[in-house]
Chains A and B, each alone.
Chain A
Amino acid sequence: MTQTAPHATGAFVEDPDAPEYSAYGGDWSDIADEAARLAQQRIVVNMGPQHPSTHGVLRVMLELEGEVVTETRAGIGYLHTGIEKNMEYRTWTQGVTFCTRMDYVASMSQEAVYCMGIEKLLGITDDVPERANILRVLMLELTRIGSHLVAIGTGGNEMGATTVMTTAFIAREDTFRVIENISGLRTNNAYIRPGGVAQDAPEDAVALIRKVIPQIKQKLDELADLQLENPIFKGRLKGVANLDLAGCMALGITGPILRSAGLPYDVRKADPYFGYETYDFQVPTSTDADAYSRVVLRLEECYESLKIVAQCADRLEQTEGQPVMVADKKIAWPAQLSVGSDGQGNSLDHIRHIMGESMESLIHHFKLVTEGFKVPAGQVYSAIEGPKGLLGVHLVSDGGTKPWRAHFRDPGFNNLQALGILTEGGQVADVVVAIATIDMVLGGVDR
């Protein structure tokens, strides 16, 4: 178990005599016992990048004094796929398909903020039809519920409570039922498009939304009953991973972590978009600033999101038959999709029209789909409240059909900087709690 010669994965250690321990399975206490026997207190542990509790491929380097973490370093980049660079070689509309894969647990958030930026560049923000905005809000809120449920569920799983995960994932599946019914896909939807959404909700969507709301609510209740008064859960989370308001402000933390420190900042309220100012919902906050309060906040936010989802269902009913894409045919995506029993496919009516009835429609379809539309030169920044915090996008256009630059400020990327302050001085077992409380997704962090 003890190695004297450095091996391939060995980190650079200044002291050549420092012993190195590599564990492949086995019991941590054996290694700790041996370290104690050798009177070595300072241990550097490499956690990840393939560790189940790191929410993807995050590498955490921990320096330990016994069980106490003295220094934490996060190493990221293992999931960097060059999405931003790739977007510069695709049309503005195709970019939706790329950015949706960043934070894949909250796909719709990236689509929404990206399309918001394009619409601002085009100057058509006010032209987006009401029904499109309702569908966007519906999708964003279902995504928020899904993302929070993953945060709560995997967080519980990491502490050994598998039931928390299965319960949360059952509820998340209900959000996917609605999303799949409307967009044809569970995740990575490419549903929100510049100027509106890809297609209208099918006729049975409202009924389905009304059916799943009580189901999700029941599972949320179950999660709350299961966790919030559980002595083990409270023991593991209360007072752990503290970050007060001053720390949040210094590190630019947004989302549930900031609200757990007492600041009710939510972009949906501060700088409303897609008509959020017309919905009735609350922004829950806490002043405990610990991991426990963030679980409570995420649960409460799910209830608030369900309130918005219910209002969306009512509005969808009232706006039946209204357009879901801007009227400008030079921007509106011509392709029409329909959701069939076997998934998403081309609308047969549209195919018949362009292939059999109108040559001009075919040319228009071909030009807009292959070449795309031009966006006037300039730059914009737009931001929305993603499930994990402020999600921003910086877009630059050179007047062409492709972005000159698309940069996403993923809240997880920024918030992960807090891992050091959340864990240093605490127990090594609390590191997984701290990672769970940040709730980043490495696909978004690394992009």
Chain B
Amino acid sequence: MSESQDLTGTGDAQGGLQPGERETITLINVREGMFGAQGDTSGYDLLVEPVEMPGATERPYGEWFDGVVDVLEELLGADADAAIEHVVVDRGELTLYVAREHLPAVAQHLRDDQDLRFEMCLGVSGVHYPADQGRELHAVYPMQSLTHNRRLRVEVAVSEQDPHIPSLTGIYPMNNWHERETWDFFGIVFDGHPSLARIEMPDDWVGHPQRKDYPLGGIPVEYKGAEIPSPDNRRQYR
């Protein structure tokens, strides 16, 4: 499997804070300027706005969330504090930020304990946050309990320099292809996966296309005398 250095970003992990040392859970983006254009005489391009994910939630979390977190903490025992970095309740959804080395243990408990019984993992969705130094790549696992009819989210963050997460295929065999897809698109290496090959892109493809620093591609199109830039080069209203 060939790796490309020029397309996988050049984030600096050294300056990044360790989880727990900071209040921001996920720095989604640092938005600069107003339209993405540089050299704007209006001065709007000097605007800098960090955008963060909703922060950690204090107990009580509400609904069934407290019970699930209690049971999970009890099962994890002494590892509980290290395993569950943050608990976030936002928009009626529970997110557990889990340290990657504890992910298999957390998943095993979530699946097997009779009070948890999250029998299905609905795959893994990769997200790239280039601004979030030291935690650029996130793997998001939606867990579905059919027994209790609940859904929660387990999120694991790793750095671009060390993008390794233990594979969950031993606990959730259904995650086989999902992990291959996340490897393919984001370059997260799922250690212990039986065959972590590319799945959507050709086997000899270079780079991981859904990372933010991977260009979308496209060519400018001429329409009625005017040139319309490709979608990723258009003026942005972010």
Is A392 in contact with B91, judged by CB distance below 8 angstroms?
no
Q: Is B53 an interface residue (CB 8 A)?
A: yes
B143 to chain A, nearest CB (A): 10
Is B149 in contact with A263, judged by CB distance below 8 angstroms?
no
A390 to chain B, nearest CB (A): 7
Binary contact track A2-22/B, C-beta < 8 Å → 1, others 0 = 000000000000000000000
Is A381 in contact with B93, judged by CB distance below 8 angstroms?
yes
A396 to B237 CA separation, bound complex (whole angstroms): 17
Give chain A interface residues in 381-400, CB to chain B under 8 Å: 381, 383, 390, 392, 394, 396, 398-400
A92 to chain B, nearest CB (A): 12
Q: Given A76-B199, A404-B28, are A121 and B91 also a contact pair (CB < 8 Å)?
A: yes
Q: Is A86 an interface residue (CB 8 A)?
A: yes
Q: Is A281 an interface residue (CB 8 A)?
A: no
Give chain A interface residues in 236-274, CB to chain B under 8 Å: 249-254, 263, 265, 270-271
A207 to chain B, nearest CB (A): 39
Which residues of chain B are near A371, meaning CB under 8 Å? 237
Is A250 in contact with B174, judged by CB distance below 8 angstroms?
yes
Q: Is A413 an interface residue (CB 8 A)?
A: yes
Q: Is A365 an interface residue (CB 8 A)?
A: no
Among A123, A390, A394, max chain B CB count under 10 A is at A394
Q: Is B102 an interface residue (CB 8 A)?
A: no
Smallest Cβ-Cβ distance to A79: which chain B residue: B200
Q: Is B9 an interface residue (CB 8 A)?
A: no
Q: Given A86-B216, A414-B178, are A402 and B238 also a contact pair (CB < 8 Å)?
A: yes
Chain B interface helix/strand/loop/mixed: mixed
Is A252 in contact with B172, judged by CB distance below 8 angstroms?
yes
Binary contact track B114-147/A, C-beta < 8 Å → 1, others 0 = 0000011111011110000000000010101010
Size range of the interface on A?
A: 35 or more
Q: Is B113 an interface residue (CB 8 A)?
A: no
Q: Is A90 an interface residue (CB 8 A)?
A: yes
Q: Given A77-B202, A250-B174, A417-B176, are A398 and B149 also a contact pair (CB < 8 Å)?
A: no
Is A270 in contact with B127, judged by CB distance below 8 angstroms?
no
Is B209 in contact with A390, judged by CB distance below 8 angstroms?
no
Q: Is B164 an interface residue (CB 8 A)?
A: no
Is A377 in contact with B28, judged by CB distance below 8 angstroms?
yes
Binary contact track A398-411/B, C-beta < 8 Å → 1, others 0 = 11111011010100
Which of B52, B126, B199 has a CB less than 8 Å from the CB of A77? B199
Show the binding face of B for A, using Cβ within 8 Å: 28-29, 31, 51-54, 90-93, 95, 119-123, 125-128, 140, 142, 144, 146, 149, 151, 153, 172-178, 181, 198-202, 209-210, 216, 231-232, 237-238
Nearest 7 Cβ contacts at the A-B interface: A252-B174, A407-B125, A400-B238, A371-B237, A77-B200, A80-B200, A394-B125
Extra contacts besides A252-B173, A381-B153 (18): CB < 8 Å: A76-B199, A84-B210, A88-B216, A249-B120, A251-B173, A252-B120, A252-B175, A270-B146, A372-B237, A377-B51, A379-B95, A399-B51, A404-B29, A407-B126, A413-B177, A413-B181, A414-B177, A447-B200
> Can you give 14 contacting A-B residue pairs, CB < 8 Å?
A80-B201, A82-B209, A85-B209, A86-B216, A88-B216, A120-B92, A249-B119, A251-B174, A381-B151, A392-B123, A400-B29, A400-B238, A407-B140, A409-B178
